[in-house]
Amino acid sequence: MSQKKISFTLKELSKTIDASITGDENIIISNIATIQEANTDSISFLSNKKYLRFLNTTKAAAVIIDSNLETNSSVNLLKCSDPYLAYAKISSLFVNKENKLETPSIHKSASISSSADVSKLSFVSANVIIEENVVIEEGVYIGPNSFIGPNCYLKKGCKINANCSLVQDVTLGEFSSVHFGSVLGSDGFGYAPSKTGYQKIEQLGGLIIGDNVEIGSSCTIDRGALGDTQIHDGVKLDNQVHIAHNVSLGKNSAIAACCAIAGSTLIGKNLQMGGLSGILGHLSICDDVSIGAHTLVTKNIDNPGNYVGIMPTQEQKDWAKSSIFIKKRG
């Protein structure tokens, strides 16, 4: 079945992002593309000055730019205060709504405990397992082959994609989403050393995830040992992020791929972590902290700001000289 083509006039798009128009307000836009790859049906955006050189050569029907940017380009323009945010808002308009699941249903192959409370207005896919004392509210979507363990609570409108596991005692907030292959609420890494090896510490807490949280593919978030691991409202996690037991991650934090946070660390609001970064356990991080890529945080951060702990790429001989200098200064 062919998909219905999505299109808007430039005037319609301008109202969505509260932008002024320079050029033809009636031109038709049917897709979004980068400024280099756009065609005559595309709208693009310019939020990074590195790409300014493409503004005069782009084939785009229109480009979203900063209101303060002066240009002689002949392309149609939408001018606003934040082009990147405007692009984000417009992107939602081009999602094919025909692919959305509108009819609630429970697949005949799903296995659901008799003690589970599953809303008739939810969508449960093939081969899903739902164990005892699970509560699933209306508008929840659970993708194929996913596992929802004991005592989980899935609130209104949340979405769990295929092959995910909510192991036990996980609360997923309203309109939150979990991407493919993530594992939430598994055992934390807790062992007491002894002369004969390691004694496992049973993980008796839960995992509470707030509203409007988005968790990328192949992420792992452990439930608490005593008390709960907490992921607060609005948090965004990229793929392959690990969060250990009893971490509290503050509201509207954003973490890029392959980061890890060790156990019992308390993090304030609006944390930003670049890829491949790490935070050691039992630390305290204040609000409004940005951590650069490949940085290891080893002590508390009490003041908002940008923190970086890695040298840029350089030839090996230059790196060796820099290392000697740092050691001497230390």
What gap in Å lies between CA 119 and CA 201, rounded to an integer?
Answer: 35
Torsional sign, CA 20, 23, 27, 28: negative
The sheet carrying 153-154 orders its strands as 117-118, 135-136, 153-154, 170-172, 207-209, 229-231, 248-249, 266-267, 284-285
Identify the burial level of 327 via C-beta atoms within 10 angstroms of its C-beta, where 0-12 means exposed, 13-18 middle and 19 or more buried.
exposed
What gap in Å lies between CA 121 and CA 138, rounded to an integer?
Answer: 5
The catalytic site residues sit at: 245
DSSP string, 225-275: SSS-EEE-TT-EE-TT-EE-TT-EE-TT-EE-TT-EE-TT-EE-TT-EE-T
Q: How far is CA 132 from the centre of its chain?
A: 29
Give residues with Cβ within 8 angstroms of 11, minimum separation 6: 21, 25, 26
- Provide the b/e sequence for 282-294 (b: ≥16 CB within 10 Å): ebebbeebbbebb
